[in-house]
Structure 1
Amino acid sequence: MSQISLEFETESAPSTKTDITVIGAVSSSDGPRLHAIEGFESLTDMLTNLGVSGSADALSRVVLPDSPSTVIAVVGLGREVTADALRGAAGAAVRQLAGIASVRFAFPLTDHADVIAVAEGAALGAYAYTQEKGMSERTSPVEAVTIVAPEPLTADEAKRVVETARAVHLVRDLGNTSASALTPEVFADTAVDEASDLPITTRVWDVAQLESEGFGGILGVGRGSERGPRLVKLDYSPAGATSHIALVGKGITFDTGGLSLKPASGMMGMKYDMLGAATALATITAAARIGINTRITAWLCLAENMPSGSATRPGDVLKMYGGRTVEVTNTDAEGRLVMADGLVAASEENPDLIVDVATLTGAAVVALGKRYTGVMGNDESAAEVVDIADGVGEKFWRMPLPSELRSALDSDVADLVNANLSRREGGMLVAGHFLSEFIGTRTDTDEPISWVHLDIAGPGDNGTSTYGYNGKGATGVTVRTLLTLAERHAGA
């Protein structure tokens, strides 16, 4: 897990204290425009000839004409200088400058929010997954970042930036790990280790305990694997907290589709099917390190979906935790089965809000592409989460739960089916309906508990593409939104 140090200075001239200084360029119809503090004016009329475009993510290394030994990196900001543009540019620069120990940002920052954005982007971009490299070269991420700013971040602000990046990097590390190395048991042990030095209590259900307490969804998905499933609960309850958010994360450590077997090409990337559980773990541990005064419980629903003689068959009926029965029509619609158990368990504690995070449906990728998180919910909390995401620079999109699609889950032999093979329309939305069936009611009002579903099947991993502060593989999307949500509830 990468860790970066942040420093701030008010000096405006080019500096030799760090290995390389980063300045910006803005793209326009008249060509690139310099975006830098004083001291770099000699580059103003040379940007085009130097190959600088100002396009987002573009990075060029140049030398100062009046100081040929001084190497400068010019990163593109796109057409408009916003906090999001600065965050993305800082991340893109640090990501592409991997192998260099220290970087200095010399953007003209006058807004404090922009300083935070640059710090966030740099910290998020300082990541590399090298744990499974053998003989090939390991390139280390940038270790130290200095930001020129008239007003530096406070100690608390800097801590939040660093701990948020640490949480995002934890998700990336877990997601990028080979599935053979990250089994449900190993994931559970990792969660306990991550929480061990924090004010978080943990409980792990093994196979025997899951059986004795009736967690039929998690067991049904995991029983085809030699690597048994687990359920992990983490509870962060700071003194004086008046609000409680429950996070439920899908943790399929590898998804073959079970007996409804995926094609070989469809299995590539299925090690990322546990990113929801990784997100829940990273969010609760970061909240504890930062000291957010909101109670958070995290439920990690962990299983490996494999085909074997003991695997769940299409047509089998599973009795979920809480008593509802599900006819399994497609063993490749497994994430909703483990999530159902977690949602019921989370509901029993009567939280103010349940947020589930899951790489749930391929339909979400078809509808929203690879950069947008699909958001569903049963009240205005979904709109609140989308608003928070907009503010922190994550792309969320609110989706409906049309009542006419609920009938797709009707079963002749059980309470509901997990998938309808004869109706392809609205697959992401039907999956949302399935999850909503397992949200409990509040004990004080008898109304449904506020619930938000985040489908990260698209943005959870980048595959082999890169942009901004996101490299190849797992991204850690939604962690920053969920931490801000927890902070907002602490002040409610």
Structure 2
Amino acid sequence: MTTPKLALTDTAVAKLSVDALVIGTVSGADGLQLAPGAEPVATAFDGDLVKVLTALGASGKADEVVKLPATGLAATVLVAVGLGKAGEDGPTAESVRRASGAAARALSGVEHAATTLPAADLPATVQGTVMGAYGFTEYKSSNGDGPVAAVDFVVADAKADTATHALKGGTAIGEAVNIARDLINTPPNDLFPASFAERATELAKGAGLEVEVLDDAALRKQGFGGILGVGAGSSRPPRLVRIRHKGPKAAKKVALVGKGITFDTGGISLKPGAGMDNMTSDMSGAASVIATMVLAAKLNYPLDITATVPMAENMPSGTAYRPGDVLTMYGGKTVEVLNTDAEGRLILVDAMVRACEDEPDYLIETSTLTGAQVVALGNRTPGVMGEDAFRDRVARLSQAAGEGGWPMPLPDELRADLDSKLADLANVTNHRWGGMLAAGIFLREFVAEGVQWAHIDIAGPAYNTNSPWGYTPKGGTGVPVRTLAAVLADIAENG
């Protein structure tokens, strides 16, 4: 992960001696319009900038990037990036974030750039720039041009505390997203439970956090039957990582849990071969939780936060768990396994029960849980389930953060479909209807009474198999780091 050198400047736009200057455009009712902050540039073009951009095919649509010589400016190249349709209140934070990301991707190989987009929303511009400049080249023999080296953000008062805090916070959140992306994009031959635990430990200790790692012997001794069952088919045994941040004057305790299946073949219930390579991303929930803990330490949230992160590899072998097995989960409940490809919930509930022993006020867990999430909500919208009030709060904050979480119900009538003839419950229903909701109901069975709980299903949003867009690269996306960050900040402020 390489973050550009970021700085604030109040230098007059026309006098910015940079390789590239970024301005925003919008799709107005009457055609292309300039976004706030671009006025000085228009003046340098003698008022003809809109006409020139229109002649070059610019329309202001989201993700559109048009480059032209910076005539009359100290900059070399002018980069016009589209923010999409303009609302009554101007560009939204998410449109600014997305445009900043598109601009950062287009600035690959540029040494020094400046952007006027902060006039709309500085934190969003910073986040979008950091996330858009991301690239994963660890396994490339040639790294190409590399990300833009330095970006200046044009603000009215570069020395103001609000601007400084916005730069620091936006950078920290963007970097946390990129930490998660790095973990997700690391191939499974290099990122397996033991090495994942080592990298999590390194990141956590580097941020000054407390870390505890349970190996397979410790998991067996303490009765983590779900994690051990799922990991039994792999030659690389499972781990459980616990990371704690104890913030100043912490009034609330928050538990975070993230699914860390470092590769998912489906086990004995083997997945189809097509697209199985994408299952390197089945640890995206764990990666996001670990990155969020690093962020919590960096921003020093006034909260007591503990992450409980189960890590396993789901493989078929002579020692693998089978459909028909009964596992005794941590805490004593038994689960009949009807499908070994519904493994994420089995490791999650072990971690959730352990997390609840700390008596948290809130429990937030996230995972690439179900293909049903993609069927219901598509590849960009996480499903949020849980205790009604907290579920709605998390979804609302996710939407404000730009990750678009959507509240989903947990219908009582689906609970009976998880009844088992042998055990306390089965890990799947005997039908395909409401698969995401049934998984949420399964998880709910393991939440301690009185704990406000929410689950974020990121099966689609965690990994982009299509072309890059906005600040989102191909591969790991880092969803839902920004949602988790927004929820923690909201709890810190409002309890």
TM-score (norm 1): 0.95
2:11 alignment partner in structure 1: 11
Q: Is the 8 A contact 1:214 1:320 kept in 2?
A: yes
Q: Which residue of 1 aligns with 2:81?
A: 75
- State yes or no: 1:365 paired with 2:374: yes
Question: How many angstroms apart in 2 are the aligned matches of 1:475 and 1:16?
Answer: 33
**Which residue is 2:55 aligned to?**
49
Alignment partners' CA distance in 1, 2:485 and 2:118 = 28
Stretch moving more, 233-242 or 207-216: 233-242
Tell me which amino acid in the other structure corresponds to 2:95: A
Structure 1 stretch 252-261 or stretch 390-399: which is displaced more? 390-399
Aligned with residue 109 of structure 2, among 99, 106, 109: 99
Q: Give the corresponding residue for 1:423.
A: 431
Aligned partners of 1:245, 1:101: CA distance in 2, in Å?
41
Q: Contact 2:15/2:74 (CA < 8 Å) preserved in 1? A: no
Q: How many angstroms does 1:137 deviate by?
A: 4.0
Deviations 1:379-431, CA, capped at 9 Å, x for gaps: 311111112122222211000000011111110001111112x3110000000
- Aligned partner letter, 1:185: A
Q: Do structure 1's residue 119 and structure 2's residue 121 form an aligned pair? A: no
How far is the alpha carbon of 1:143 from its aligned partner?
2.6
Q: How does 1:61-210 map to 2 (within 5 A)?
A: 61-66=67-72, 70-80=76-86, 81-107=91-117, 109=119, 114-134=121-141, 136-152=142-158, 153-210=162-219
Task: Report deviation, 1:198.
Answer: 3.0
Q: CA deviation at 1:192?
A: 0.7
Superposed CA offset, 1:111-140 (max 9, x none): 5xx122212211221210000112x34331
Q: Is the 8 A contact 1:40 1:64 kept in 2?
A: no
Q: Secondary structure at the match of 2:233?
A: coil
Consecutive unaligned residues in structure 2, runs of 5 or more:
none
Q: Which of 445, 449, 454 in structure 2 is aligned with 1:437?
A: 445
Contact 2:399/2:405 (CA < 8 Å) preserved in 1? yes
SS of the counterpart of 2:413? Answer: helix
Residues 325-360 of structure 1: per-residue CA shift (max 9 Å, x gap)? 111100000000000100100011110000001000
Q: Distance in 1 between matches of 2:138 and 2:270?
A: 30
- Per the alignment, residue 32 of structure 1 pairs with 32
Root-mean-square deviation (CA), in Å? Answer: 1.6
Question: Are the counterparts in 1 of residues 261 and 344 from structure 2 also a CA contact under 8 Å?
Answer: yes
Tell me which of 293, 305, 308 is aligned to 1:284: 293
Equivalent in the alignment of 2:457: 455
CA contact (8 A) 1:37 1:108 kept: no
Measure, in 2, the Cα distance between the counterparts of 1:466 and 1:101. Answer: 22
Measured in 1, the distance between the counterparts of 2:367 and 2:252 equals 23
Deviation at 1:253, TM superposition (A): 0.2
From 384, 387, 393, give the equivalent of 2:402: 393
SS at match of 1:27: strand
Q: How does 1:167-316 map to 2 (within 5 A)?
A: 167-316=176-325
3-12 or 321-330, which moves further after superposition?
A: 3-12
Q: Return the offset for 1:106.
A: 2.2
1:144 positional shift: 1.6
Separation in 2 of the partners of 1:108 and 1:118?
A: 6
3-state SS of the aligned residue for 1:84?
helix
Sort the Cα spacing of 1:87 and 1:214 in 2 relative to 1 into closer, same or farther, 3 A.
same
Matched residue, 1:2: 2
CA distance in 2, matches of 1:476, 1:273: 12
Contact kept in structure 2, 1:4 and 1:126, CA below 8 Å: yes
CA distance in 2, matches of 1:126, 1:187: 25
Q: Which residue identity does 1:105 align to in structure 2?
A: T
Give 1:150 shift.
Answer: 1.0
In 2, the alpha carbon distance for the partners of 1:69 and 1:194 equals: 39
1:445 aligns to what? Answer: none
C-alpha contact (below 8 Å) 2:14/2:74 kept by paired residues = no
Deviation larger for 477-486 or 371-380 = 477-486
> What is the match of residue 365 of structure 2?
356
Cα distance in 1 for partners of 2:76, 2:127 equals 26
Task: Describe the SS at the equivalent of 2:176.
Answer: helix
Distance 1:251 1:69, change over 3 A: closer
SS at the partner of 1:285?
helix
Alignment CA distance shift 1:46-1:314 (3 Å): same
Secondary structure, counterpart of 1:350 in structure 2: coil
Displacement of 1:148: 1.1
- In structure 1, give the amino acid aligned to 2:343: E
Deviation per CA, 1:166-219: give whole Å up to 9, x if none: 110110000011011101000000111111133321111101111111000000
User: TM-score normalized by structure 2?
Assistant: 0.94
Task: Give, in angstroms, the shift of residue 165 of structure 1.
Answer: 1.4
Q: CA separation in 1, counterparts of 2:259 and 2:389? A: 23
The answer as to whether partners of 2:385 and 2:410 remain within 8 angstroms in 1 is yes
Paired residue total = 481
Q: Work out whether residues 8 and 147 of structure 1, in 8 Å CA contact, stay in contact via their aligned partners in 2.
A: yes
Match of 1:412 among 404, 421, 441: 421
Question: What is the CA–CA distance in structure 2 between the aligned matches of 1:439 and 1:467, rounded to whole Å?
Answer: 37
